[in-house]
């Protein structure tokens, strides 16, 4: 482990000890974008799909589309081989931990400033193209999924304009360098926030899987497509909670109600306190010379 | 002979404690020699806990054969070299639940 004791003291002065995009002070004070930039592919794909229909792709959008196609084939396709729901979840966890995931998201993040949406599409425009191709029964789910994707894209776009495109370039570089899922174990990141980021990653892969049949000749079983669509929406909502908790993202209340938003300052503060206490525990263990500290177990443990 | 090596966060290890090897999930590793972890027990108590049942995906991933309960009182710091590695890793969501439990009130003795 590279993040040793003392690297997280809450002041930010020792931040350089731990090069991660998932830093508390980045999220709260300096740059929230690196923490979220890579987890937003579904909205990008929504943007691309929308523009595909208008035949208006720029060179940067063509580059992004090529990356998206590669991600769909590499990360999305394995989900379509799932034999049941448990297998689907297992495959999903496998994909989000692949190094290729971080690399692809890093490359895609670099493209975001060039493709970030500035306007909300008309409701009738969202998901109009892919829904029939995946089956009429999914139309309602897809419409909701793309509505959320567009909301995420708009929120990220507002953050980017607020913080500047350079944040995304930095995020792109750090994403490619980060250990997959490294934020899970980062003691400075509140578990609630990490759960939201995890959902963002899952939403990406689920989206890759969902779009696969639009590009390649494969017809997944209806139950599987429905499960993927339902999980995609569920994970998008979880991810949206985090975005909605950043005021500059200006997420509408009808997307994420006030009671579902996180108090990020409070959460990061509590996590910093807990991290210090766990570190104290480790120091006591070292000072005591004991193999295990505290050395006793619960008297009635089976 | 089980391998004795420095584990990583999310690893499932066996923690030798009071003449038993307890299943434990590594939460943090400090300076490659001290591990903060949370161990599980088969004893059900009426207090905040995370339950992992063997038939669930989490239970299968961790190789549990009976219901296992994690309590905040199961948080420990241990020397890395005494831990027995199992080759299993904690699924991401369960790991975050265990982290949240452990960070409520670390068991500092």
- Note the pTM of the prediction, 2 decimals: 0.81
Listed in sequence order, the residues at least 6 apart from A34 whose beta carbon sits closer than 8 Å to its beta carbon are: A21, A22, A26, A167, A170, A171, A174, A175
Stretch 33-92 of chain B: residues touching chain A, C-beta under 8 Å: 34, 36, 39, 41-43, 57, 71, 73-79, 82, 91-92
pLDDT category at A3 given cuts 50, 70, 90 is very low
Look at residue B5 in the predicted model and tell me its pLDDT.
56
Judge whether residue A160 has pLDDT over 80.
no
DSSP label at residue A32: S
Counting one residue from chain A and one from chain B, the pairs whose CB atoms sit within 8 A come to 127
User: What is residue B26's predicted lDDT score, i.e. its pLDDT?
Assistant: 97
A11: number of Cβ within 10 Å: 8
pLDDT reported for residue A301: 64
- Counting Cβ atoms within 10 Å, is residue A153 exposed (0-12), middle (13-18) or buried (19+)? buried
For residues B18 and B25, give the distance between their C-alpha atoms in angstroms, rounded to a whole number. Answer: 18
Contact (CB<8Å) B34/A282: yes
Q: Is A83 on the interface with B (CB under 8 A)?
A: no
**pLDDT confidence band for A133 (50 / 70 / 90):** low
Contact call for A284 and B77, based on CB within 8 A: yes
B106 touches chain A (CB under 8 A): yes
The pLDDT value recorded for residue B95 is: 98
Rounded Cα distance between A90 and A97, Å, is: 11
- Chain B residues touching residue A93 (CB < 8 angstroms): 91-92
Is A4 at the interface with chain B, CB within 8 A?
yes
Q: Do A301 and B43 touch (CB under 8 A)?
A: yes
**Cβ contact A1–B20 (<8 Å):** no
Please report the pLDDT score of residue A101 as a whole number.
Answer: 80
Instruction: Provide the pLDDT for residue A28.
Output: 36
pLDDT, average across residues A242-267: 92
Q: Is residue A38 predicted with pLDDT exceeding 50? A: no
d(CA B3, CA B32): 16
What's the whole-number mean pLDDT along residues A70-77? 84
- What is the structure's pLDDT at A176? 65
How far apart CA B41 and CA A160 sit, in angstroms, is: 47
CA distances (Å), A198 to each of A30, B29, B104, in order? 22, 21, 21
With CA atoms as reference, report the closest residue to A151 among A243, A72, A64, A65: A243
Q: Extract the tokens encoding A26.
A: 């980045």
pLDDT at A131: 52
- The residue-averaged pLDDT of A73-78 equals 88
Residue A16: pLDDT band by 50, 70, 90 thresholds? Answer: very low
Four-CA torsion A50, A53, A56, A60, nearest 10 degrees = 50
Residues 6+ apart with CB under 8 A from B27: A185, A278, B9, B36, B37, B38, B75, B98, B99, B102
pLDDT at B99 over 50: yes
Say what the ipTM of the complex is: 0.90
- Name chain B contacts of A286, Cβ cutoff 8 Å: 34
pLDDT band at A27 (very low <50, low <70, confident <90, very high): very low
SS3 B10: coil
CB contact under 8 A, A302 and B42: yes
Give the closest of A198, A278, A291 to B78, CB-based: A291
Task: Report d(CA A203, CA A231) in Å as an integer.
Answer: 8
Q: What is the pLDDT of residue A81?
A: 94
**A265-275: average pLDDT:** 93
Helices A222-244, A191-215: axis angle to 10 degrees equals 140
What pLDDT, on the 0 to 100 scale, is given for residue B49?
96
Note the pLDDT tens digit of each residue in A200-226.
Answer: 889 989 988 988 887 777 788 889 999
Q: Enumerate the β-bridge partners of residue B16.
A: B21
Residue A45 pLDDT > 80: no
User: In this predicted model, which residue has the larger pLDDT, A92 or A110?
Assistant: A92
- Residue from A189, A281, A294, A302 to probe the interface with B (highest B Cβ count within 10 Å): A281
For residues A212 and A77, is the Cβ–Cβ distance under 8 A? yes
Element at B12 (helix H, strand E) = strand B11-17
Q: Which of A47-51, A163-167, B3-7, B25-29 has the highest mean pLDDT?
A: B25-29
Q: Mean pLDDT for chain A?
A: 73
SS3 percent helix, strand, coil of chain A, rounded to 5, is 70, 0, 30
Confidence category of residue A48, pLDDT binned at 50, 70, 90: low
- Nearest by CB to residue B106, choosing from A277, A286, A300, is A277
Q: List b or e across B40-68, with b for residues whose CB sees 16 or more CB atoms inside 10 angstroms.
A: bbeeeeeeebbebeeebbbbbbbebeebb
Taking the Cβ of residue B21 and every Cβ of chain A, the question of whether any pair is shorter than 8 Å is answered with no
Return mean pLDDT, chain B: 90
- At residue A126, the 3 state secondary structure works out as coil
Q: What is the pLDDT of residue A6?
A: 27
pLDDT the model gives residue A120: 54
| Nearest CB partner across the interface for B18, out of A280, A286, A297 | A297
Per mean pLDDT, which of A147-161, A284-298, B73-87 is the most reliable? B73-87
pLDDT of residue B24 exceeding 70: yes
The better pLDDT of the pair B70, A61 is held by: B70
**Sign of the CA dihedral running A296, A298, A302, B3:** negative
Which residues of B are less than 8 Å from A96 in CB distance? 92
Write the DSSP assignment of B40-72 as a string of letters. Answer: EES---SSSEEEE-TTSHHHHHHT-SS-EEEEE
Mean pLDDT of B63-74: 96
């Amino acid at each position: 482990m590279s993040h040793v004791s003392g690297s997280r003291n809450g002041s930010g002065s020792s931040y350089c000890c731990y090069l991660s995009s998932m830093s508390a002070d980045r999220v709260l004070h300096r740059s929230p974008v690196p923490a979220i930039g890579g987890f937003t592919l579904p909205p990008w794909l929504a943007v691309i799909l929308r523009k595909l229909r208008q035949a208006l792709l720029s060179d940067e959008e063509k580059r992004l589309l090529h990356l998206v196609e590669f991600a769909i084939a590499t990360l999305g396709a394995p989900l379509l081989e799932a034999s049941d729901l448990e297998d689907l979840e297992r495959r999903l966890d496998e994909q989000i931990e692949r190094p290729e995931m971080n690399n692809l998201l890093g490359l895609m993040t670099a493209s975001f400033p060039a493709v970030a949406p500035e306007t909300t599409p008309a409701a009738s425009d969202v998901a109009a193209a892919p829904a029939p191709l995946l089956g009429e029964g999914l139309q309602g789910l897809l419409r909701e999924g793309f509505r959320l994707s567009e909301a995420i894209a708009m929120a990220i776009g507002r953050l980017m304009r607020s913080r500047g495109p350079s944040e995304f370039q930095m995020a792109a570089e750090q994403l490619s360098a980060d250990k997959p899922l490294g934020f899970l174990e980062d003691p400075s990141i509140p578990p609630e926030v990490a759960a939201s980021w995890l959902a963002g990653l899952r939403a990406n892969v689920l989206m890759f899987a969902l779009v696969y049949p639009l590009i390649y000749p494969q017809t997944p079983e209806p139950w599987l497509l429905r499960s993927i669509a339902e999980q995609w929406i569920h994970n998008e909502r979880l991810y949206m909670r985090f975005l909605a908790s950043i005021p500059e993202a200006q997420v509408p209340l009808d997307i994420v109600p006030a009671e579902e938003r996180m108090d990020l300052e409070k959460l990061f503060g509590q996590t910093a306190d807990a991290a210090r206490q766990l570190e104290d525990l480790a120091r006591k263990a070292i000072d005591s010379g004991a193999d295990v500290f505290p050395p006793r177990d619960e008297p009635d443990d089976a | 002979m089980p391998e004795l090596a420095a584990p990583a966060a999310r690893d499932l290890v066996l923690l030798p404690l009071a003449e038993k090897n307890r299943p434990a999930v590594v939460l943090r590793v400090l300076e490659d020699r001290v591990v903060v972890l949370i161990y599980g027990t088969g004893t059900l108590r009426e207090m905040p806990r995370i339950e992992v049942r063997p038939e669930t995906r989490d239970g299968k991933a961790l190789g549990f054969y009976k219901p296992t309960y994690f309590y905040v009182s199961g948080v420990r710091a241990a020397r890395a070299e005494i831990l027995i590695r199992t080759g299993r890793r904690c699924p991401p969501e369960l790991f975050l639940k265990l982290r949240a439990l452990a960070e409520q009130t670390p068991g500092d003795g």
